[in-house]
Structure formats: C-alpha cells, structure tokens
Amino acid sequence: MPELRQQCLWEHVTQPAAPSRVLNAELKADVCIIGGGITGLSAAIHLLEQGKTVILLEAWKIGHGGSGRNVGLVNAGTWIRPDDVEATLGQKQGSRLNKILGEAPGEVFATIERLGIDCQAHNTGTLHMAHNATGVADLEARHQQWSRRGADVELLTGAKCEEYCGTDKISAALLDRRAGTINPMGYTQGLAAAVERLGGQIFQQSAVQGLEREGGSWRVKTAKGSVSADKVVISTGAYTEGDWTNLQRQFFRGYYYQVASVPLQGAAADNVLKHGQGSWDTRTVLSSIRRDDQGRLLLGSLGRVDNKPAWFIRSWADRIQNHYFPQLGKVEWEMHWTGCIDFTPDHLMRLFEPAPGIVAVTGYNGRGNTTGTVIGKAFAQYLLCDNPDALPIPFSAMKPVSAPALRTGFYETGFSLYHAGQCLRVVL
C-alpha cells in the first residue's frame, strides 16, 4: 500500500514561488497589509493600480493559510440561504450583500483572466448535493430564493442529477452556473506575483509583533524590522496570531480536512463529476467532492486529520468513496491536509475599523476564495476614497465571540465522533 503522506495537494501541483524575503529594515509605505492571503493580496493589487505604495507582511509564506489550503470551490453567496442573510442583516443590507457575493465568482474569474493566473480555473458551476429528503427541501428553498433574485441556478433530479454527480446516491443537486473551481494555491500565488509586478513589496516569515500609533502614521513591528504606513489592512483570518490584536476574539476556529487520491483513469472515473463541477453535500458535517486537472478524487469534511493515524484517514475516505462511487473499486489515497476556517455564530462575516486608518475582516465561514477577492477590492476602494458605500456591509463593533476555544473544542469533538461513526459504518 502506498504511503499516505501529509501534504497539501495544491502546494504539490503548483510551481514554487520565487524565494521569499524577510523584513529586516525600517520601511515606509502608504498602506501596510498584514496577511498574505487572498484578501490582502486583492487589496494590494487594487491599491497599487491606483498609485499607492504597498508593503505586505506574511507571518509564514504565501498560501500557508486557508487561501492556499481550501477545497478550491468558487462559490456564490454565503454559507446560509439568501433569505436568511436578509433576515439577519435587514432587507437593504442583506440584499446588497447577496448581490455582491452572488456576483463574486465572476469577479474571481475576471481577475484570473485579467492577471493571467494559471490556477486550473473552471467556470463550469458547482453542485450542492442533497443526501436525504431534508437536504432536498433545503435545496428547493435555495433554488427558489436564488431564482427569485435572477441567479443562473437549476435543480437537477432524476437521470440528469445522476449524470452530473456520477452517483445514484444523490436524489437532487443544485447546479449553480455562476460558480466553479480553482487551484487555490495557484490563485493565491498568482495574486502575489501580480502584486510584485505592480511594484508592491512582499515580506514572508515576517510575523507582526506590534501595531502602534506613531504621530500621524501606524508603525507595524516585526522581529527584525518595521513598516510605517498611513493605513493598515488586517486580513489574517483564521490564522490570526499574537497579542498585538484582539481580532482572534471575533471568531472561533474550525478545521477542514481533505484527502486526495492518486490520479484516476478509465470510464468509471470519467463519469465522476463528468462535467467538471466541484460539489459538497447537505450533511450537517458535510463532505466535499471534486476532481483536479490530473484526475485525482478529492474528498473533504469538517474537522482535522493532521492529528489522526493513516488508517483512520483511509477508512473515512474509503467509506465516502464506496458510498458515492463504488464503481471506482479500490482507490489509493495519496495525501491529506488540514486547514482552518474562521467561523462566526451566524455564519456571516464582520468588517471592522478598530481605529482610524485600520480596517480588518474576519468570519468568511469557508467562502474565502470569492469573499476575500471582493473584500480586498472593497477595502482598497474604502481606503482610497474614505466612502463607506464602497463596502458590502457596514463596519461592526468589536464584540468578542463567547468562549471561542470551547466552541472550537466542542465542534472538533463532535466532528471526530461523527467521522469515527462513518469509519465504523454506524453513520454516513
């Protein structure tokens, strides 16, 4: 049996980036961006294109966090249904957010084309797959709500559903033609390359240790240097670290793991998601399913496996694959990896302005590829014109999530028990 190694597929299939630089000097810029994920890089590109000087600081390396480790779904909207967004935020604000995030996949694919990013981009839609009658009812509601807003969505049933999904275990699937898939590491590194082409400076392995007001500017300190800037963007998401900010108290961490097979060939494999969509199901502890450009089958779920033995990971992946795609026979699993998600209790993001000249965001709830792209652009526009109308939602007051560590532990324990039940064929 081949070794099942702990490695992120997207890093494995993406060309290595240029050697990184560590900040070891005292520099100045118009804007300092903390966090080298999609949000920060998107903000940097739009600021640079408007003539601003930008320095970006990344604690680890570009793509280290959720921006490079996610499933690669380019989804429209939020985790929750559009009617629920408007019920939570109010009709005016909720409708605006639904519109902006509904159009966000188009922004991602337009950015990829405009900047010439090579990242396995496929604007062929996504499939939200119903695993039971409750799931069908949920998809019927989502279909009705998005159709009422003019979205290009279709509820697939019967033979067409089986054709698109490649399994007879799904009775309905919501095809969202606005959406698609990418290699998220390729996308993130492509954004970083564009930042440097435009004259921006990126420093990696340069974790922020302090942020303080100094005259009319902000000084952002690292272990070996500092940046003095008029404006600061904090876009560190679930990977926020350090005592210099209380942003990590505004969300609770969740984990998401993925397992990738060796490249699969043959007629049986070709019929799995044959039209190129990525997918996820309607389970509370959901499973994501997609293929990459080399034919691998990628399975994922909420929780972490970086702390679990290889037999457990294989057992879980075998269980999901045999349920949905028994026609594949025995599948060899090649690699696994785990990433973090910044969750909020209502599954909606938060924008903050903790002090004049500083903007921050958290709570993408697993929708970072699209949301990060549009929020980065919105932050750039806001910093350029100081107009709140540039933002998709207003700034929120910083109100810590209660017991974030306990929430993380509670959910992770539940996910682990559920996945153990799947391995033991007690639940599916």
Query: Residue with structure tokens 């799947």?
Result: 422
The per-residue pLDDT for range 76-122, each reduced to its tens digit, is 999 999 999 999 999 999 999 999 999 999 999 999 999 999 999 99
Interstrand relation of 153-157 and 172-176 (parallel, antiparallel or unpaired): antiparallel
Q: Which residues pair with 57 in a beta bridge?
A: 34, 203
Query: Confidence band (pLDDT; 50, 70, 90) for 25?
Result: very high
* Residue 343 near residue 158 (C-beta atoms within 8 A): no
CB-count exposure of residue 424 (10 Å: 0-12, 13-18, 19+): exposed
List residues bridging with 73 in a β-sheet.
181
**Hey, what amino acid is at 112?**
I
List the Cα angle 62/64/66 in 5-degree steps.
Answer: 110
Q: State the pLDDT at residue 219.
A: 98
Q: Where are the domains of the chain?
A: 5-423
**What's the rounded mean pLDDT across residues 206-220?**
96
Q: Superfamily assignment of 5-423 in CATH? A: FAD/NAD(P)-binding domain (3.50.50.60)
- What DSSP letter does each residue of 305-374 carry, written as one string? -TTS-HHHHHHHHHHHHHHH-GGG-S--EEEEEEEEEEE-TTS--EEEEEETTEEEEE--TT-HHHHHHH
| Mean pLDDT of the 165-185 span | 97
What pLDDT does residue 427 have?
Answer: 74
What's the confidence (pLDDT) of residue 80? 96
What's the predicted TM-score (pTM) here? 0.97
Residue 122 gets which letter from DSSP?
A: B
DSSP three-state, residue 180: strand
Whether 48 has a pLDDT exceeding 80, the answer reads yes
Three-class secondary structure of residue 203 per DSSP: strand
Q: pLDDT of 216-235, one tens digit each?
A: 899 999 999 999 999 999 99
pLDDT at 310: 95
Determine contact, residues 373/38, Cβ cutoff 8 Å.
yes
pLDDT (0 to 100) of residue 59:
97
Percent of the chain's residues with pLDDT above 90: 89
The alpha-carbon radius of gyration of the chain (Å, integer) is: 21
Q: What is the mean pLDDT of residues 375-380?
A: 98
Q: Which helix (H) or strand (E) element contains residue 130?
A: strand 126-130
104-115 and 91-102 helices, crossing angle to 10°: 40
Q: What is the Cα–Cα distance from 63 to 58, expressed in whole angstroms?
A: 10
Residue 91 confidence (pLDDT): 97
pLDDT of amino acid 175: 98
pLDDT mean across residues, the chain: 95
In the prediction, which pLDDT does 419 show?
85
Phi, psi at 102, each rounded to 5°: -65, -30
With cut-offs at 50, 70 and 90, classify the pLDDT of residue 348.
very high
3-class DSSP state of 201: strand
Between 411 and 305, the more confident residue is 305
pLDDT digits (tens, 9 = 90+) for 354-373: 999 999 999 999 999 999 99
Read off the pLDDT of residues 315-347 as tens digits, 9 standing for 90 and up.
999 999 999 999 999 999 999 999 999 999 999
The predicted model gives 376-384 an average pLDDT of: 98
Task: Check whether 18 has a pLDDT greater than 90.
Answer: no
Quick one: DSSP state of residue 237? G
pLDDT value of position 1: 60
